[in-house]
Structure 1
Amino acid sequence: MSEGTAEIPEQIRQANHRISPQELVRRGAVFLLLLALVIVFSFAQPAFININNLMSILQAVSVVAIIGAGVTVTLAIGGFDLSVGAVAASSVMAASYAMIVWNLNVYETVPLVLAFGASVGLANALLIVRLRVPDLLATLSTMFLLTGLQLIPTAGRSISVGLILPDGTKATGKVDPAFLTIGRSSLFGTVPFPVILMLVVALVLFVLTERTRLGRLLYATGGNEAATRLAGANITRLKTFAYVLSGVLASLGGIIVAARVGRGDVSSGASLLMDSVAASLIGFAVLGLRRPNVLGTTIGAVFVGVLLNGLTMLNAPYYTQDFIKGAVLVGALALTYGIGRSKAFG
């Protein structure tokens, strides 16, 4: 074989790995939009780019990113957890109730609330895996159940120091100051502790889902459950793991919210479900992966946080924010998926 013909396969290989401009735009669509938002908001309101405001954005999205990471794991197995918002809200109430009514400290409250989230995830897995209830119906039922259940112990009232219980007695406990540090402390006085928790969760789950056999099996289950089962994987354990992890992360998000506000607010989890789902869906567009991924979910949460913070600083009417958020979400996904489609049909 001559030297010229030996070079042909190498030339073909390099050509196959060459990224087209359309593909480059598709992979970086979310980052381009995020950069555009930062530039526009910084020119319109210079205070937007202040380090304290940027840390405030990250702190605000930390809970959404953590909860969204749990949703992402359930999406990876081909499921969907609609109960995460209710689990987080119930965890806010449970943490406050444990300290103010039961007089528990932070070291007793946090494990108790995380165990609550795990038990809800286990119940979801039981409905889905054992009883064969479709995941959307199972987790929707759990959502309604928890939404009503969290109001019963206090007769629908928020939980704060001096709470009058339904039986007429007065709660004698208080929120443990050490518990408040979870939501209010900062590293070096700059980086809020919830942001550190968000980064730790994102890093651990990124390694778990992208670099381990367990992660490959999770994605394989979502891609082709029958083939994964035939390959010897335990589908029951994989799905149970995903929903239990989702419940634990939702409870962790609720703990952070409770530690930040210092009380059990009955309306604290109102938008957590939709925001975490939005972050997870935007994650599909990050780097053009077109699949659920924890890195993308974290970027998606930051994307939503930057958008809402900028709109607030520009005094945009509150009733337009959901519309704008939805429009940007549609744009990001259309840009990511549309470029590939237009090339295919062009």
Structure 2
Amino acid sequence: PLMISIVSLALTRPSVPRRDALQLLTAAGASLVPSPLIAAPSYAASIKLADGLDFPLASFGLQQYDDATAERLTRLAIDAGFRNFFASTLAGNQRGFARGVEASGIARSELFICGSVVSNRALDADTAYKLTKLGCDENLEAFAVGGIDTLDMIMLDYPGPGCDCIRGQWRAFEEMHASGRTKSLAVSNFVPAQLDCILKDPKLKTKPTVNQLPYCVGYHDTGVIPANRRRGIHVQAWSPLGNGRLTRFSRDKAKAKEVCSEVGAAYGKSAYQVALRFITQMGASYTVEARSPEHFQENLKIFDFELSKDDITRLESLNVQVTYEGAITQG
């Protein structure tokens, strides 16, 4: 496997879709070094986070579509058995999601619901705090249309441009947590130095439990899971299927699917199920999209088999990984 050390991803506006943002990472590359295999710590369908919450490893992540579509797909996901949901403010359909939950009739206690806040354009700590606080309020206002008045998790979708801003963002999150409106706090697209802005703050009260990062079988940074684990933080993969390619490079698409299909044949599983199982055996979880009952089932039914060590090694050989240096907002 190869590792490509690349330049940081620069996001100039908070509305950049995650799947489009990561494509920018393929634009530059340099030094090539070996990519080590990470041992799999768990094979369970859920884990217990550092704060004690049970966290299902399979999550449905809503993408950018209208509220009616979000409502319909949320109901399909619940019917398929999904219980973990990521309804990002970037997707713009939290109200549709909430209506889908309400219409399903499922008990709120059966679901793990995560919202998100985008406040990374702030250039000072006070503004970062105010924008994040506003984002927290807007999340609850949106979810309330479906009778959801508290969240299991709120996620800071992107870090601010420096430690002061990040700590301003986090102060608003801690207030939301202290008020009982969310049970757990999380981040997304944070590199270790940005995590340490939070963790080394002498005023820290509540630590992040999850860091959502780009990760798929054919394109990932093998260092992010252990780096986060050392900080007591669990990694959740976004774009875990590489937009269906299982990699970020079009030229490697055929090979990635071929190998995953060959591995899956021995287990009676699809290439995509193998790719998702690989992620969980590497020690992460995933948030994934689907638009049909069949695909929801496919994305969920990966916990009844275990990839062998030889298969893990073979799948890891597909990886042309970035050294993830974060999503840094430019003022």
Normalised-by-shorter TM-score class? under 0.3
More helix by share: 1
Q: Normalised by the size of structure 1, how large is the TM-score?
A: 0.21
More strand by share: 2
Choose 1 or 2 for highest CA Rg: 1
